[in-house]
């Protein structure tokens, strides 16, 4: 089998059978002509199947070291499909440091359908087991978490999930398949917002699920088609194109991330920096064990934790653009409390350590000195 750097460019991809085109064509069609009723080339209607999407699904499966890939119109559409595996009365145990949109769909949508969610810190696994009862069906984690960069031990979670016959879902958006492959660590389902590192250029919204089990693939494919939250072929093509440079982009995100993290830590006006590469990060050893690098996501708090000071930095950067999202080639700066995590109630947010003045960076792949100079002039 080829190594990841080769798979990122070639996995799932072969010259287009009708023309030999080396790049997967955008099959911009809603339906396919049949020779006789039921006699066709495997494609009937584009909600169910599209050749551009098929190529991407196969590529995603390969680079996550899974068997099946499924594409959705957004990361949250993928999350929605996974939650629809559950029935009223079922319970889910999830980390308390979760992407705001995931928290919102769980609490504002699926709780209305009778599914119960428990949110807990997972630095230590004992809290998970204490929440398990006969109705528990799923453990849902994100690691590294957003925006506090906590690390959860995927293998340890998988052992608990297996022991209690639960599904373990890992949101692998922050790490990307370049840094971490949860299926090889025992997860059942990997979910991605491909809007972020996989797409990599801030030009597409897309979601993906990767599984090994044929049974899960069948159930999720049914939901994908029955509920219909599928991406268009052009969006699939953009993600395919993004994936081809994932390794070179991630390498640079990691290098720049490391330098910016140390720059911030040494800055006299910075109180605390959250970055998983620091040796004194509480779960640095777990990160080292389950990841191949530390990525370009960093959060920090200024000395004094004054919201006004943070606001000055947020609107003072020139290269770091103030915007939601992450994982693109360009650097972004954000304020989780009012932006990505605005849908989490303040008490809940503060309780979980997400300060009002916390600033989050998605370090891009620009020249790192320019990035540090930009932060320096904004922090002052
Ligand atoms: C952005 C994001 C999502 C949601 O994905 P969309 O593509 O925006 O729907 C889910 N999880 C994480 C960790 C994210 O960063």
- The domains of the chain are located at 4-243, 247-379
Ligand 1 pocket, 147 CB below 6 A? no
Mean pLDDT of the region 306-310: 92
CATH number of 4-243: 3.40.640.10, 3.30.2130.10, 2.60.40.10, 3.30.43.10?
A: 3.40.640.10
| Nearest alpha carbon, ligand 1 atom 8 | 75
CA–CA dist 175, 313 (Å, integer): 26
Q: pLDDT tens across 151-192, in order?
A: 999 999 999 999 999 999 999 999 999 999 999 999 999 999
Ligand 1 pocket, 283 CB below 6 A? no
CA–CA dist 231, 220 (Å, integer): 15
pTM of the model: 0.96
The best mutation among 73, 78, 83, 99 to test binding of ligand 1, ranked by most ligand atoms within 8 Å of the C-beta, falls on: 99
Q: What is the pLDDT of residue 344?
A: 80
Number of H helices, E strands in the chain: 14, 12
Ligand 1 pocket, 74 CB below 6 A? yes
Ligand 1 pocket, 360 CB below 6 A? no
Ligand 1 pocket, 195 CB below 6 A? yes
Strand partners, 171: 142, 191
The three-class DSSP label of residue 263 is: helix
Computed over every residue of the chain, the mean pLDDT equals: 96
* pLDDT of 123 above 90: no
Q: What is the pLDDT of residue 345?
A: 86
The best mutation among 73, 151, 176, 193 to test binding of ligand 1, ranked by most ligand atoms within 8 Å of the C-beta, falls on: 193
The set of residues, in sequence order, having a beta carbon less than 8 Å from that of 248 and lying 6+ positions away, is: none
Ligand 1 pocket, 172 CB below 6 A? no
In this prediction, residue 349 has a pLDDT band, given cuts at 50, 70 and 90, of confident
Annotated catalytic residues are: 47, 99, 171, 196
Label residue 68 exposed, middle or buried (CB < 10 Å: 0-12, 13-18, 19+).
buried
The architecture of the domain spanning 247-379 is: Alpha-Beta Complex (3.90)
Residue 40 DSSP symbol = S
In this prediction, residue 264 has a pLDDT band, given cuts at 50, 70 and 90, of very high
Q: pLDDT tens across 49-78, in order?
A: 999 999 999 999 999 999 999 999 999 999
Determine the distance separating the centroid of ligand 1 and the alpha carbon of 44, expressed in angstroms.
Answer: 30
Ligand 1 pocket, 207 CB below 6 A? yes
Label residue 29 exposed, middle or buried (CB < 10 Å: 0-12, 13-18, 19+).
middle
CA–CA dist 81, 220 (Å, integer): 7
Determine the distance separating the centroid of ligand 1 and the alpha carbon of 75, expressed in angstroms.
Answer: 5
Q: What is the pLDDT of residue 305?
A: 87
Determine the distance separating the centroid of ligand 1 and the alpha carbon of 226, expressed in angstroms.
Answer: 22
* pLDDT of 354 above 90: no
In this prediction, residue 348 has a pLDDT band, given cuts at 50, 70 and 90, of confident
* pLDDT of 126 above 90: no
């Amino acid at each position: 089998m080829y190594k990841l750097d080769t798979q990122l460019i070639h996995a799932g991809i072969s010259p287009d059978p009708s023309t030999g085109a080396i790049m997967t064509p955008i099959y911009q069609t809603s339906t396919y002509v049949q020779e006789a009723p039921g006699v066709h080339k495997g494609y009937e209607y584009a909600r169910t199947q599209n050749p551009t999407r098929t190529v991407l699904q196969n590529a995603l499966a390969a680079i996550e070291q899974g068997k099946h890939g499924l594409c959705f119109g957004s990361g949250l559409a993928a999350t929605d499909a996974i939650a629809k595996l559950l029935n009223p009365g079922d319970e889910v145990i999830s980390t308390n440091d979760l992407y705001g949109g995931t928290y919102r769909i769980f609490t504002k949508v699926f709780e209305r359908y009778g599914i119960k969610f428990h949110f807990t810190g997972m630095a230590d696994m004992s809290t998970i087991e204490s929440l398990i009862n006969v109705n528990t069906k799923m453990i849902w984690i994100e690691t590294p978490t957003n925006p506090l960069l906590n690390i959860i031990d995927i293998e340890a979670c998988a052992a608990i999930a297996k022991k209690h016959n639960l599904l373990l879902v890992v949101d692998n958006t922050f790490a990307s398949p370049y840094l971490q492959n949860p299926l090889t660590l025992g997860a059942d389902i990997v979910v991605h917002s491909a809007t972020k590192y996989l797409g990599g250029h801030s030009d597409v919204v897309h979601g993906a699920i990767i599984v090994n089990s044929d049974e899960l693939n069948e159930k999720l494919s049914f939901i994908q088609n029955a509920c219909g939250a599928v991406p268009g072929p052009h969006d699939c093509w953009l993600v395919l194109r993004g994936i081809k440079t994932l390794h070179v982009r991630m390498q640079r995100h990691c290098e720049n991330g490391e330098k910016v993290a140390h720059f911030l830590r040494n800055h006299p006006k910075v109180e605390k920096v959250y970055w998983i590469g620091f040796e004194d990060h509480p779960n640095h050893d777990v990160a080292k064990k389950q990841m191949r690098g530390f990525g370009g996501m960093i959060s920090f708090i200024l000395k004094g934790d004054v919201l006004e000071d943070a606001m000055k930095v947020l609107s003072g950067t020139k290269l770091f653009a103030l915007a939601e999202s992450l994982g693109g080639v360009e650097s972004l700066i954000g304020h989780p409390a009012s932006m990505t995590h605005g849908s989490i109630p303040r008490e809940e947010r503060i309780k979980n350590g997400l300060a009002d003045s916390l600033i989050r960076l998605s370090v891009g792949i620009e020249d790192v000195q320019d990035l540090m100079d930009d932060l320096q002039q904004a922090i002052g």
